[in-house]
Amino acid sequence: MNIAMQCCSLMVLIVIMYLYLSCKKVFLNSEFAFFNLLCSTVLCVFMDIISIVMMSKYDYFGRGIVNGVAKFYLITVVYVAVCCLMYIISNVYDKGDKLKISRLAVYGCFAIVCIGICVAPIEFVSDGKVVYSKGLSLYVSYVFLCIFTLHSAALLAKYSRVLNKDRVKVMSLWIILWIAVCVVQAFYKKQLIVSFAITLGMLVVYIRLENPESALDRETGLFNQNTFGPYVSQRFRNGERFSLIMVTFDDFNKAPVSGTIRCKKEIINLFKDIPNTFAFKTNENDIYILYKHSEEAEKMFEILRRRFILYGDKEFRPYISYMPYSAITDNIDDMLHMFRQANRSNEMLEHHYIIIDKAFRDRMMEVQRIEKMVNDAIENNRIEVYYQPIYSTEKHIFTSAEALVRIRDDKGKIIPPATFIEIAELNGTILKLGEIIFDNVCTFIETSDVLQYGLEYIEVNLSVVQCEHEDLAKEFIEIMRKHNISGETINLEITETATLASKKKLIANMIALRNYGVGFSLDDFGTGQSNLNYIVDMPVDIVKFDKEMTTAYFESTKAKYVMDAAMHMIHGMKLDIVSEGVETAEQLDTMEELGIQYIQGYYFSKPLSQNEYLEFIHKNNKDYYEQHNKQ
């Protein structure tokens, strides 16, 4: 009797089992399958030892018992092959239904094998040193062992492309070992190497694929990215709901690194070992904590919000996103997309926390719809520019117009800029859009006769994102050159905003464009954002009084004083004023009396399509045309 090899194998397996169980894990489907495989291997090796011992003491134990034990051992060998197949299945079909059906089919087959092994006869051979079994029972187990193993090999080959390469390699090795065992055992019955081979296979799978340490982040002890994705995906697939809190640290903020580290540590310690939760750290250094129950998640979110956002040190404020109900989506990709969008949102930047709920999802979907609409419109040439005439109170004709963008959607409906400008600014599309608008305006000036009708320049709105774009001046000058129009025919409208990050770039762009002859207006004066300092700082020629200010002038004495004073100063600086939003004759008269040079508003006209605008100017500036063409 030689059972040394089997005993060593058993010891190795017990060590693997201990290491595996002593480490925390989330229990993915594939981890369950591995655990089954490990248990079946331990059982198989254990039964190998028992059956050899009993076969060698055949007379002592009696034929019936030894037969039963030997057959049970054969069943455990086949069961290891079944678990190996299930392990591969759980890796390839991670989808609920397919997994269930395959599981049923394999276990059904296995039940038949068990009956076959039990019913078929078995014999024992002993040559003094080695004891082994033979007979039909053994052949039945061999045949099915081969069938299960070949099935595993076929599955692996079929899905080798979608599976992780490392997994394919290790599992192939395991299958090759099995096939080698089958061949050796078939020809050399005395070589009892099954236990050794399966233990070796187990060791390789454990070290390379299932070592729970590899699922943990070394620095924090939290689960890492390798676990986060598969675990969350599995919960979605199984329809298991959860709540998720994500904490992220702005790596670029000005806070001292030591403070950020301290804050991070405190949060990690808070997240560690809370029952019924799993905490993860991703490759992007974001920390997620997953709760099975939303009430507990809610409590933690409140704790975090109070401790770190409301009453914490202002310098080390993390950003916290909280998704109370996973049911707002059904897959991890959409969920992560929502977290990314949430992180970038203005709400997050302002408050340092955000709740990702149904309303957030709906808003995000609306944003996506609009982004798509803008991109479609760009691709299909559906960006249109409307022109709103601007009246000169000195020359009594329409000397300029403001270019206002519109999108024609795929059904032909006109979409106003309020719907899409902010979104295009956030995702950067405004640069492309701005270029198209500018090109459109230049084409209009080049190809129409508006200059002969007394039009001096067209006002084009610039978004703050465009102002900060390094190549803005270069690109705009190129467009003007392409259309052969002079810089004097363009006036760019800039707005004062708190979000302007680089005033330097804006000024550089303004200087380059001014040198080309382009003029500038300061838009939206009189709204919350503007102040007089800005006019002093910026090289502008015109200040545009916002509609709010024009209206307020007639409604409140205070506003009247403010406007009078502002007007006095602006005129003192030798700048012109455009009054926007003039809707009535009374408003027009007052503005004219005040000495405001330009009037824009519905009183004269709403923004008009290019052709309507041409008609408008042909009709209203006719005298100018006739006078100047006679000369």
Binding residues for Ca ion, rule: CB under 5 A, are 461, 493, 523-524
Q: Is the CB of 302 or the CB of 409 nearer to ligand C2E? A: 409
- Minimum distance of ligand C2E from residue 170's CB (angstroms): 56
User: Do β-strands 123-126 and 383-392 pair in parallel, antiparallel, or remain unpaired?
Assistant: unpaired
Q: Is the CB of 300 or the CB of 464 nearer to ligand C2E? A: 464
- Minimum distance of ligand C2E from residue 592's CB (angstroms): 16
- Minimum distance of Ca ion from residue 576's CB (angstroms): 15
Alpha-carbon distance of 286 to 322, in angstroms, equals 13
- Minimum distance of Ca ion from residue 523's CB (angstroms): 4
Q: Is the CB of 316 or the CB of 420 nearer to ligand C2E? A: 420
Q: 133 to 192, contacts with ligand C2E by CB under 6 A?
A: none
- Minimum distance of Ca ion from residue 547's CB (angstroms): 7
421 binds, among Ca ion, ligand C2E, none (CB under 5 to 8 A by kind): ligand C2E
Whether 222 and 274 have beta carbons less than 8 Å apart is answered as no
- Minimum distance of ligand C2E from residue 513's CB (angstroms): 16
Torsion of CA 30, 34, 35, 40, to 10 degrees: 140
- Minimum distance of ligand C2E from residue 428's CB (angstroms): 13
588 binds, among Ca ion, ligand C2E, none (CB under 5 to 8 A by kind): none
Q: 545 to 584, contacts with ligand C2E by CB under 6 A?
A: 547, 580-581, 583
Strand partners, 216: 223
Contacts made by residues 187-190, CB under 8 angstroms, sequence distance 24+ = 189/125, 189/132, 189/134, 190/127, 190/130, 190/132
Q: Is the CB of 33 or the CB of 403 nearer to ligand C2E? A: 403
Residue 238 is given by DSSP the state: T
**Judged by CB under 6 A, how many residues of this single chain contact ligand C2E?**
21
Q: Is the CB of 456 or the CB of 580 nearer to ligand C2E? A: 580
Q: Is the CB of 215 or the CB of 405 nearer to ligand C2E? A: 405
114 binds, among Ca ion, ligand C2E, none (CB under 5 to 8 A by kind): none
418 binds, among ligand C2E, Ca ion, none (CB under 5 to 8 A by kind): ligand C2E
48 binds, among ligand C2E, Ca ion, none (CB under 5 to 8 A by kind): none
602 binds, among Ca ion, ligand C2E, none (CB under 5 to 8 A by kind): ligand C2E
Q: 482 to 541, contacts with ligand C2E by CB under 6 A?
A: 523-524
Alpha-carbon distance of 497 to 577, in angstroms, equals 20
Alpha-carbon distance of 424 to 157, in angstroms, equals 47
Q: Is the CB of 425 or the CB of 493 nearer to Ca ion? A: 493
- Binding of residue 250 to ligand C2E (CB under 6 A): no
Residue 546 is given by DSSP the state: P
DSSP 112-170: HHHHHHHHS--EEEE-SS-EEEESHHHHHHHHHHHHHHHHHHHHHHHTTTTS-HHHHHH
- Binding of residue 587 to ligand C2E (CB under 6 A): no
Give the range of 126-134, 283-291, 450-458, 599-607 binding ligand C2E by CB under 6 A: 599-607
Binding-residue pattern over the window 394 to 423 for ligand C2E, x denoting contact by CB under 6 A: ---------xxx----------xxx--x--
Strand partners, 522: 494, 543
- Buried b / exposed e over 285-294, threshold 16 CB at 10 Å, is ebbbbbbeeb
286 binds, among ligand C2E, Ca ion, none (CB under 5 to 8 A by kind): none
Alpha-carbon distance of 546 to 456, in angstroms, equals 22
- Binding of residue 352 to ligand C2E (CB under 6 A): no
539 binds, among Ca ion, ligand C2E, none (CB under 5 to 8 A by kind): none
Q: Helix 4-21 vs helix 194-205: angle between axes, to the nearest 10 degrees? A: 20
* Cβ-Cβ contacts under 8 Å for 346 (sequence gap 6 or more): none
Q: Is the CB of 244 or the CB of 437 nearer to ligand C2E? A: 437
Candidate list 201, 230, 324, 607; residue touching ligand C2E; CB under 6 A: 607
Candidate list 206, 601, 616, 621; residue touching ligand C2E; CB under 6 A: 601
Alpha-carbon distance of 563 to 585, in angstroms, equals 19
Give φ, ψ of 320 to 5 degrees.
Answer: -120, 125
Name the token pair of 512: 């380059």
Indicate the SS3 state at residue 478: helix
Whether 70 and 135 have beta carbons less than 8 Å apart is answered as no
Candidate list 388, 489, 597, 621; residue touching ligand C2E; CB under 6 A: 388
Alpha-carbon distance of 282 to 548, in angstroms, equals 48
Q: 432 to 491, contacts with ligand C2E by CB under 6 A?
A: 437, 461, 463
Question: What is the identity of the amino acid at 224?
Answer: N
Residue recorded with tokens 């004495």: 557
Q: Is the CB of 320 or the CB of 403 nearer to ligand C2E? A: 403
Alpha-carbon distance of 252 to 430, in angstroms, equals 25
- Minimum distance of ligand C2E from residue 159's CB (angstroms): 51
Q: By the criterion CB under 6 A, which residues form the site for ligand C2E?
A: 388, 403-405, 416-418, 421, 437, 461, 463, 523-524, 547, 580-581, 583, 600-602, 607
